[in-house]
Chains A and B, each alone.
Chain A
Amino acid sequence: MNPNTFENYQTENFFDEMFGNSNDSNIFEFYKPIYDRITDLTESEFEQKKKQADSSFLEHGVTFTVYGDDIGTERIFPFDLVPRVIPDKEWQKVEQGLRQRILALNLFLNDVYHGGKIISDGVIPEEVVKTSAHFRKEMVGFDVPQDIYIHVCGSDLIRDEKGKYLVLEDNARCPSGASYLLENREIMKKTFPRTYQKMSVRSVEEYPEILLRSLENLTPRKLQKPVCVLLTPGVYNSAYFEHTFLARQMGIEIVEGKDLIAIDGFVYMRTTQGLVQVDVIYRRLDDEFLDPLFFNKNSLLGVSGLMDAYLKGNVAIANGIGTGVVDDKVTYAYVPEMIHYYLGQDPMIEQVPTYLCWREKDRKFVLENLSELVVKSANESGGYGMLIGNISTQKEREEFASRIKDNPRDYIAQPIISLSRHPTFCPHGVEGRHIDLRPFILYGEDIEIVPGGLTRVALEKNSLVVNSSQGGGSKDTWVLSN
């Protein structure tokens, strides 16, 4: 059968990005041009486009490494050719909601590392913050450069069965995926050039430029051109491709821990021309690996003395250290309160209701309703450590129940949201697949968000897990202008 046919397309009971809630196949007007283009393709044209796209990924070496695999297999991140389209007005609301959220998150980090007024005012319980796995007491009282903790934030968005946008989680440590966003766009521009142009899609290519500006904004040496570097854990990291990609796009050095050396409170990189002082480190390495003197003693990835230089203000690190507190899914539950508290207003984007297992009442409810909830570990990401109630086995539920009882602080539960679906090429024609959206929010001189983000798609039928490590793929996201 022709793979680009919508003949048997079913929206079922989900919100469909192209057709909305209706089953009468009334397509949203803004999807029309790309829909027409796709359905006009002959089978061979389609196959050719698909091949073009795939080989383009290979050529550029757009790959990621899967963990838990001895040989460190590199895979292509599966890419779907049907773009997600977001109209102008809708995006404007999302954009402003994200801006509001990152402001509140950043204020919260400033607060918890400077006395914790929100705690003393009784809005957020102290234990939530202090027991968070990523709370860094070393950072208490330290003023981060420009008061910015989160320079790059990826707050994942989903849409519920009515099409309402909800924040699913915040990634304020080292969110990845920006390179796919940029590569996807390159490929889509080649695949559907005329449709792309006709729909006047807003460009995303500024991302590396804005990122570099945000980094340079942090430099401690204001009088000269800042030296920024990207610190990678190394070639075996799953996102190594992204690290080299971004470093190249920004024109900065990609360094490993062993390329840097801290001497008397300053950080230098070793070059063939001698030591060069480093001003800003865009690190793609978690806090605990940064400096063996401060954190994980066994880390070979970090730089001894880096924290000392950071705390002396001689080098800036982005994202700041200790941002993981807001990635904690228990903290997440309090973000609406943060927005009320710091900004004096309601959240513009709502989030998923969350039951906190360390609250007696919530825990009881969660344990009684395991099969209707998603249980998540508070500090894991990438779709690991998760129980999806309605598709779990009795044994899995029992295991999670005992884990929750043993360690209630580490678990939260949320109702199962039927993520919106998007038409996606499947072997037997176009079918609906669940998606989410990871936008990339950059906080430098001001907050800037490239239009759209990375749309991740669960390629397995009915799967709700979109993470690349769990068989997810991606789509290009087209935000239209006007």
Chain B
Amino acid sequence: MRLYILHKTHYRYPSPVCESFNELRLHPLTNDWQSCESCFVSVLPTTQVRQYLDLNGNLVHHFEIPNDHSKLLIESRSTVGTQKRVDFDNLPYGATMKSLHEVEGNPNCRPYLQSSNFIDISPGIWRMAVDIQENSKDVFQTAYQIMEYIYLNFEYCVSTTSVNTHANEVLERKKGVCQDFAHAGIALCRCLGIPARYVSGYFYDPTRDQSMRGSGASHAWLEVLVNGSGWFGLDPTNNRVVDDNYVIIGSGRDYRDVSPVTGTYFGRLPESMKVDVQVKRLDS
């Protein structure tokens, strides 16, 4: 599938701000099942934009605007080719929960098994995870149940949480948006020893009535490592195994590692921040 994504972020400040330093993680990844044909990140007021690869392998654009400005417009336009990465008739069952100790020592997996900024490994969450696991002995099966549990029991609800809401709070209040659902899923998986990471990206809603969630904004979900088969994406917001309708920008331990726009500046809080994401299919 070829997808085109236009992602606009528009800040307006009540009075001019200055010394703005920002990092953008908006450039879709290229890997075995996704190729980013092009991605143009543009910034207004105009300034020089540079890029580097961060430790998680994500392409970061960064820029500074020293002079006074009262609005900041960040746009990215990406064209991405995606492939089906899962065979739905042949999901990666077979890795047992017992075998998880094999990955535990793998240094590449360590970060995805521990607590991080938004995620705690705690006995309370572990108990909840074990309840969800029931008698599943399979890694993928367990992760799938966790996704389904969140989808069925959590309320999707805008503006009850913020960009800084911790997984603990989400698990307790069972409310939130995709970022929160992903954090919750990651916390539950990690407590059971399943390596789980946070993925930021976009979702193309293939349904005619646009009934799915997350296609009008930047989306997030989690990926779990199934030993022997690799990473698999699970989207608790839509109860869906990630397929070629998803575009990955990047992944990390949690939101903090991949937040699309981060930065600092001198001045007052923005009076408005508008985010608009349009995902278009190019090849149909």
Contact = CB atoms under 8 A, between A and B. Distances in A.
A140 interface: no
Contacts of B79: 92, 96
A185 to B, nearest CB: 21
Nearest to B2: A92
20 contacts: A92-B79, A96-B37, A99-B40, A100-B38, A103-B42, A107-B46, A110-B44, A110-B45, A114-B45, A117-B46, A117-B48, A341-B49, A342-B48, A343-B42, A345-B40, A345-B51, A446-B6, A446-B77, A447-B77, A482-B283
Interface of A: 92, 96, 99-100, 103, 107-108, 110-111, 114-115, 117-118, 121, 123, 147, 341-345, 348, 446-447, 481-482
B161 interface: no
Contact of A111 (B46, B49, B50): B46
B160 interface: no
CB-based closest 4 A-B pairs: A111-B46, A344-B49, A96-B38, A344-B51
Nearest to B4: A446
B41 A147 contact: no
A100 B40 contact: yes
Contact of B49 (A99, A114, A343, A446): A343
A482 B278 CA distance: 23
B229 interface: no
Interface in B39-86: 40-51, 61, 67, 73, 77, 79
Given A342-B49, A344-B49, A348-B38, A147 B77 contact: no
A482 B282 CA distance: 11
Contacts of B51: 344-345
- Contact residues on B (Cβ < 8 Å of other chain), bracket: 20 to 34
B13 to A, nearest CB: 15
A150 to B, nearest CB: 13
Nearest to A447: B77
A429 B175 CA distance: 73
Given A111-B46, A345-B40, 18 more contacts: A92-B37, A96-B37, A96-B79, A99-B38, A99-B77, A103-B40, A107-B42, A107-B46, A108-B46, A110-B44, A147-B44, A342-B43, A343-B42, A343-B49, A344-B41, A344-B48, A348-B38, A482-B283
A139 B140 CA distance: 60
A447 B38 CA distance: 14
Nearest to A340: B48
Contacts of A111: 46
Nearest to B69: A114
Of B37, B38, B46, B47, chain A has the most CB atoms within 10 Å of the CB of: B46
Contacts of A342: 42-43, 46-49
Given A96-B79, A99-B77, A446-B6, A114 B46 contact: yes
Given A115-B67, A447-B77, A482-B283, A110 B38 contact: no
A382 to B, nearest CB: 31
Contacts of A108: 46
Interface string B14-45: 00000000000000000000000110111111
Contacts of B48: 117-118, 121, 123, 341-342, 344
Contacts of B38: 96, 99-100, 348
B40 A343 contact: yes
A139 to B, nearest CB: 15
Contacts of A96: 37-38, 79
A147 B61 CA distance: 21
A108 B44 CA distance: 11
Contacts of B43: 342
Contacts of A121: 48
Contacts of B44: 107, 110, 147
Interface string B248-284: 0000000000000000000000000000001000010
Contacts of A446: 6, 77, 278
Contacts of A103: 40, 42, 77
Contacts of A117: 45-48
Of B38, B43, B79, chain A has the most CB atoms within 10 Å of the CB of: B38
A108 B61 CA distance: 18
Contacts of B45: 110, 114, 117
B142 to A, nearest CB: 40
Given A107-B46, A121-B48, A343 B77 contact: no
A342 B61 CA distance: 11
Nearest to A110: B46
Contacts of B40: 99-100, 103, 343, 345
Contacts of B61: 344
B231 to A, nearest CB: 28
B3 to A, nearest CB: 13
A200 to B, nearest CB: 12
Contacts of A348: 38
Nearest to B52: A344
A348 B79 CA distance: 13
Contacts of B73: 147
Nearest to B45: A114
A158 to B, nearest CB: 21
A242 to B, nearest CB: 29
A219 B197 CA distance: 45
A481 B281 CA distance: 14
A345 B42 CA distance: 11
B7 to A, nearest CB: 11
A114 B40 CA distance: 22
A115 to B, nearest CB: 7
Contacts of B41: 343-344
Of A96, A103, A481, chain B has the most CB atoms within 10 Å of the CB of: A96
A118 B46 CA distance: 8
Contacts of A118: 46, 48
Contacts of A343: 40-42, 49
Contacts of B37: 92, 96
